[in-house]
Amino acid sequence: MRQKIIILAISAVLFGSTQSAAAIDNVTLEKKEFSIQYPSNWKVNDYWNKFQNEVTLQADLRSGSGMSIKYQKSITPISTINHELIQFLIANEKENCRVNKGGPCWNFEFTNAKTTTFDGSQAIFLQFEATLKDKNIIVKKILLPDGDDNWLITIKVTKDKEELLEEIEKTLETFSRNIENSNQVNLSSIESSKIPKWVKDTMKWYVEGQISEDEMITVLEFLIGQNVIKISNFQ
């Protein structure tokens, strides 16, 4: 009986070791505009050229931890990445948390904001933590200007799945744009407007008293600096 128990224990250890050592193959997601390699056990939601030119890669379904890759219209071409632009993006993220429609968002804290190099080009890196509904989350974002538009890559993990960050970041390292086609993404399915939605929302929040006059001035200064609003138009 004792020998049987020992044999069963050894078998269990060996079986467990075999399972943990089993390699997970990588799969390549290849579009005309970009490619990325990801673990085959991740779930992919591919909306590219269907609704909003976005792909989400989920490393953990239950927590929603993973990343999204989105190509989007810029309010105006970002010709210069500077301190003012970074401060504007920080303020925008804080406001998004405050008025979040997906549920309560609090304990918002920025932990990093800087310029960086991503896929061979200058980009903005943002990192913050917050409590969304009942989950503590870590969010990392990369805003990569690309011609008249930009790429927005978002990594989000819950604190209880923080160990997934390393795997997700290694996956992101395989991201590569096809430079010849990245400025030719089909955005025809996205409703265009002379006034971007986020600008309309900001104006609405100011009228409703949800943001201060100083915050509104910061937005206007950014729009003027990016030539979205030209002072001469009001003379």
Residues 87-108 have pLDDT tens digits of 888 888 888 888 876 677 889 9
Helix or strand run (H / E) with residue 17: helix 2-21
> Which CATH homologous superfamily contains domain 24-190?
Mog1/PsbP, alpha/beta/alpha sandwich (3.40.1000.10)
Identity of the residue numbered 139: V
Instruction: Pick 168 or 87 by higher pLDDT.
Output: 168
Residue 32 has pLDDT above 70, yes or no: yes
How is residue 86 written in tokens? 């970074």
Using CA of residue 167, residue 60, residue 38, residue 45, what is the dihedral sign? negative
Report the predicted TM-score, pTM, of the whole model to 2 decimal places: 0.68
Q: How confident is the model at residue 71 (pLDDT cuts 50, 70, 90)?
A: very high
| CA pair distance 38, 167, nearest whole angstrom | 9
Where does the chain hold its CATH 3.40.1000.10 domain(s)?
A: 24-190
At 4, phi and psi to the nearest 5? -65, -40
> For the chain, first and last CA: distance in Å?
96
